[in-house]
Amino acid sequence: MIGNINIKTLKTILVVSLCCLLAGCYPAKGTEAERVVEEEDLITIGFSQLGAESDWRNANTESMKSVFTRENGYDLIFEDAQQKQTNQITAIRSFIQQDVDYIVLAPVTETGWDTVLMEAREAGIPVIIVDRQVNVADDDLFTCWVGSDFELEARKVCMWMSYYFRKKGVAPEDVHIVDIQGTIGSTAQIGRTKGFDHMAKLYGWDVVAHEEGDFTKSKAKESMFNILRNYDNVNVVYCENDNEALGVIEVIEASGRKCGSDITNGEIMVVSFDGVNKKAVSSLVAGQISCIGECNPLHGPRVESIIRKLAAGNEPYKYQYVNEKLYTNTAAVPSIMLGGKEYNVTMLRESDLHQWPY
Ligand code: GZL
């Protein structure tokens, strides 16, 4: 430590300052001479990504890789854990051995991180948590977190349904809804299920079942097949991500039923989260999905902003939430009120698909 700055931060401050200083001495990027950052000047980032289970996850990985490039002054060590926490713990230990400057962790589930995060703290390596959260005894074990408010996402989608059913004259007791849950124990699943359960109880909907979907199309298809086999009254399916929704649509349509918002006349409403998978967004425009709660995956620039602040010796906010939209295909519900705040609803059209950002 020098004063109250540890050696690692000091090194990063010097590197960032050097990069900024040198940047002014080189021709503009893209001319005949590229800015060359020497190996030892690069800021090393160890990124443990939980897997590649969904389009959201792939967009999140791409966002990180596109920001943490050598041209931008970084050496990114990327490890894909294939949805296994043991692989993430191994990756973090490897980052510690390599003495990286920063560790970024996208945790598969919330618990089981205390020991390895203590090892990172003892090594003096700041840890930034991205997307899902960690549930640890001491939140000094990580520097900060950036991601979504999953329970708010859930309450917004459910509030949209409540407004819509009221407008269409659907009585709460005639809503027979199932929840196809994401990876059990992940913050996204915990929040989206908690928000769903709260709103379903508040509005008196009949919750027929909670089934696992693991944020994947294949698992959601399996669960939806069992639901249609075991229940004949389900008229709303709440999917905790778009990949699940695509599987649910396939099974519903294969059974001869129709996905849509007219549940009074036999259609089955499907709602979802993410808004990343283009087929899911086009299914919303086509009316097969009625509402999608945006979950923004583009955390690369957000994480870089945190690292820049840390490198400059500043203290970023501990928890940084991302603002997100609510997408639908109808003008029936232009906005919703939730917790005293108004949220506009974004109505998507075919033309919006042409420049969809993912
Ligand atoms: C949410 C993220 C979830 C997405 C799924 O931030 O953790 O995991 O909603 C993804 O698509 O698998």
Query: 148: Cβ below 6 Å to ligand 1?
Result: yes
Q: Can you list the positions of beta strands (E) in the chain?
A: 43-49, 74-80, 102-105, 127-130, 144-147, 176-181, 206-212, 236-239, 269-274, 291-294, 319-321, 326-328, 335-338, 341-344, 346-347
Q: How far is CA 128 from CA 53, 82, 145, in A?
A: 22, 20, 6
The minimum-distance atom of ligand 1 relative to the CA of 276 is: 11
Nearest residue by C-alpha to atom 1 in ligand 1: 188
Nearest 5°: the CA angle 45, 116, 308 is 30
Considering the domain architecture, whether residues 88 and 48 belong to the same structural domain is answered as yes
Q: Determine phi and psi for 91, rounding to 5 degrees.
A: -65, -45
3-class secondary structure, 32: coil
Which of 50, 60, 131 for a ligand 1 pocket mutation test, highest count of atoms within 8 Å of Cβ? Answer: 131
Q: 79 alpha carbon to ligand 1 midpoint, in Å? A: 18
pLDDT value of residue 72? 96
pLDDT digits (tens, 9 = 90+) for 84-95: 999 999 999 999
The minimum-distance atom of ligand 1 relative to the CA of 273 is: 9
Considering the domain architecture, whether residues 176 and 307 belong to the same structural domain is answered as no
Query: 145: Cβ below 6 Å to ligand 1?
Result: no
Considering the domain architecture, whether residues 213 and 282 belong to the same structural domain is answered as yes
Q: 166 alpha carbon to ligand 1 midpoint, in Å? A: 30
Domain coverage including residue 17: 1-39
Considering the domain architecture, whether residues 109 and 217 belong to the same structural domain is answered as no
Considering the domain architecture, whether residues 169 and 211 belong to the same structural domain is answered as yes
CATH code, domain with 290 = 3.40.50.2300
Q: How far apart are CA 127 and CA 113, in angstroms?
A: 12
pLDDT value of residue 27? 41
> 240 near 184, Cβ under 8 Å?
no
Here the tokens at position 62 are 């791409």
Query: 68: Cβ below 6 Å to ligand 1?
Result: no
Query: 53: Cβ below 6 Å to ligand 1?
Result: yes
Q: How far apart are CA 110 and CA 129, in angstroms?
A: 11
Considering the domain architecture, whether residues 155 and 270 belong to the same structural domain is answered as yes
Query: 131: Cβ below 6 Å to ligand 1?
Result: yes
Which amino acid type is present at position 200?
Answer: A
Distance linking the first and last C-alpha atoms of the chain: 43
Q: 87 alpha carbon to ligand 1 midpoint, in Å? A: 18
> 329 near 346, Cβ under 8 Å?
no
Considering the domain architecture, whether residues 286 and 303 belong to the same structural domain is answered as no
Which amino acid type is present at position 81?
Answer: A
Q: 188 alpha carbon to ligand 1 midpoint, in Å? A: 6
**What interhelical angle do 300-311 and 55-67 show, nearest 10?**
40
The phi-psi region of residue 34 (left if phi > 0; otherwise alpha if psi is between -120 and 50; otherwise beta) is beta
Other C-beta atoms within 10 Å of 66: how many?
A: 12
Considering the domain architecture, whether residues 91 and 223 belong to the same structural domain is answered as no
DSSP per-residue string spanning 281-310: HHHHHHTSS-EEEE-----HHHHHHHHHHH
Considering the domain architecture, whether residues 10 and 72 belong to the same structural domain is answered as no
pLDDT value of residue 40? 74
> 346 near 328, Cβ under 8 Å?
yes
Considering the domain architecture, whether residues 310 and 250 belong to the same structural domain is answered as no
Q: 154 alpha carbon to ligand 1 midpoint, in Å? A: 13
Q: How far apart are CA 289 and CA 119, in angstroms?
A: 45
Query: 214: Cβ below 6 Å to ligand 1?
Result: no
Other C-beta atoms within 10 Å of 184: how many?
A: 13
Q: 153 alpha carbon to ligand 1 midpoint, in Å? A: 12
Considering the domain architecture, whether residues 250 and 165 belong to the same structural domain is answered as yes
Q: How far apart are CA 14 and CA 312, in angstroms?
A: 9
Query: 57: Cβ below 6 Å to ligand 1?
Result: yes
Considering the domain architecture, whether residues 138 and 203 belong to the same structural domain is answered as no
> 151 near 191, Cβ under 8 Å?
yes
Here the tokens at position 66 are 């596109």
- Residues of the chain with pLDDT below 70 are 1-37
Which of 192, 219, 239, 295 for a ligand 1 pocket mutation test, highest count of atoms within 8 Å of Cβ? Answer: 295
Domain count for the chain: 3
pLDDT value of residue 29? 45
pLDDT value of residue 39? 72
pLDDT value of residue 38? 74
pLDDT value of residue 13? 54
